[in-house]
Structure 1
């Protein structure tokens, strides 16, 4: 189960001021974390469907993330970012379509909550991941740049206080590692084909660390994530260890030259 996230179509954003440029990057980083977390949860659902164990735990963990983070993030967008974007006539129809996508996401979450069969839950999870990835691409590449470049709007002002949108707590600090994940099988069990794999070689460098943070946030205690990187990610490992409070074990399975493969375990 390998997840390769597509690169952003736009790497440079023209903003009306430095605060707006920083706001764009903050939202993109949080988007990357959310995408990484969702991918890890979907991989856990797929693994549970494949091997026939751990389904209830994987679904509960996925629903906890979706209801506790992803859907509140979408609601925050509709309260702040979307009204500002819809003020532009050329973005109005796009914003309406993206609001409709939020309703589809909510419907898929309800369907996952009702899914009693592992295969059905895995299919719903896959649909959630595909829709969310395309949804974020439109936000990152179309909505955020347009709002940030409009001198009549302050993106930083629009997002002020919207902590769900920036991945911060109520005091404006990064949330870091979330509450302990739901207990259950991590899917490792000594079998590499059951460990979620995150290949970040195609992920833009600017959001690569955030993507890994999000994916590892979804790993339960004792669970593992197999990271595939284009180089030895030593700075990332230091940041990830600090974020996890030192509860990180790293085992190298391959050391280049084309790829570095590391098993990251939440100790």
Structure 2
């Protein structure tokens, strides 16, 4: 069933599709960061620690503020709809679980525990947004007397205000430097935290749903610091994706083809 069939007005159909696309972007970027952490946990504990810190910063910047804005702007309207109160209460409880999973990632006991917590967070978030996409958003879009477009606009206003007023929980200057691509070590063997010959993580997106694939790569690339690289494995020559990467980060990544089909394309993406 199309969004236009579900929605009570064309603008709500557009809003519904935009909300689903935003959920897909967040889920994809989260999946990419988690994939990088899982790979690094087996190869390079120091790199895994940097990726973990970046993952927490991403959740503080994107996932948790999104949940807070939903509870303020969307959920009260959904709660008033017939037979939806228990659904909304369960989703609010899931927000608490998401927060607990992120908090567990803040101070992990070891790299293996961080990887397990990150994977649990990814699976839980994907299941959560599937419920929102399949239940809450369609209910709001179809409800007479409600305008999903207005509710989402209010939610985005809250998110923008939160961003302007100074970030999310748990932010610190060290993590901010990592997220901006600044170096926290020299990149050499002096003992300051840099790596000399760290193994390059590999991200295989052949099994990733198409709707999440590009966002997954973007999330993984955000975890690649200057002087490092990752290997991307794709089911076809990803020329449109490479164009989006260049548009998103002009001149930041060099591309080297390692394999050109027929079953897989392998590319090394090096962060200058």
- TM-score interval, smaller chain: 0.7 to 0.9
Report the TM-score, using the length of structure 2 for normalisation: 0.76
Please say which structure displays the higher CA radius of gyration: 2
Q: Which runs of 5+ in 1 are unaligned?
A: 1-9, 172-177
1:121 matched residue in structure 2: 114
Q: Which runs of 5+ in 2 are unaligned?
A: 165-177, 188-193
Partners of 1:30 and 1:200 lie apart in 2 by 22
Partners of 1:18 and 1:257 lie apart in 2 by 43
Partners of 1:33 and 1:188 lie apart in 2 by 33
1:21 matched residue in structure 2: 13
With over 3 angstroms needed to count, the CA separation of the structure-2 counterparts of 1:229 and 1:21, relative to structure 1, is farther
Report the TM-score, using the length of structure 1 for normalisation: 0.77
Partners of 2:158 and 2:204 lie apart in 1 by 24
With over 3 angstroms needed to count, the CA separation of the structure-2 counterparts of 1:18 and 1:236, relative to structure 1, is farther
1:158 matched residue in structure 2: 151
The within-5 A match list for 1:1-267 is 12-13=2-3, 14-51=6-43, 52-163=45-156, 180-181=180-181, 183=183, 189=197, 191=199, 194-200=200-206, 202-205=208-211, 207-267=212-272
Query: More deviation in 18-27 or 134-143?
Result: 18-27
What value does the CA root-mean-square deviation take over the aligned residues? 3.3
Q: In 2, are the aligned partners of 1:57 and 1:182 still within 8 Å (CA)?
A: no
Q: Deviations over 1:2-41 (max 9, x none)?
A: xxxxxxxx8x423223322222222222222222222233
With over 3 angstroms needed to count, the CA separation of the structure-2 counterparts of 1:40 and 1:18, relative to structure 1, is same
Partners of 2:143 and 2:30 lie apart in 1 by 31
With over 3 angstroms needed to count, the CA separation of the structure-2 counterparts of 1:57 and 1:134, relative to structure 1, is same
Partners of 2:110 and 2:179 lie apart in 1 by 27
- Point out which structure has higher relative CO (alpha carbons under 8 A, 6+ apart): 1
Partners of 1:243 and 1:169 lie apart in 2 by 23
With over 3 angstroms needed to count, the CA separation of the structure-2 counterparts of 1:49 and 1:158, relative to structure 1, is same
Shift of 1:144: 1.7
Shift of 1:149: 2.4
Q: Deviations over 1:146-177 (max 9, x none)?
A: 22222322111001143389899979xxxxxx
Q: How many residues matched?
A: 248
With over 3 angstroms needed to count, the CA separation of the structure-2 counterparts of 1:164 and 1:33, relative to structure 1, is farther
Partners of 2:271 and 2:111 lie apart in 1 by 25
With over 3 angstroms needed to count, the CA separation of the structure-2 counterparts of 1:203 and 1:44, relative to structure 1, is closer
Relative to its length, the structure with more helix (as a share) is: 2
Partners of 1:159 and 1:259 lie apart in 2 by 40
With over 3 angstroms needed to count, the CA separation of the structure-2 counterparts of 1:85 and 1:261, relative to structure 1, is farther
Query: More deviation in 210-219 or 52-61?
Result: 210-219
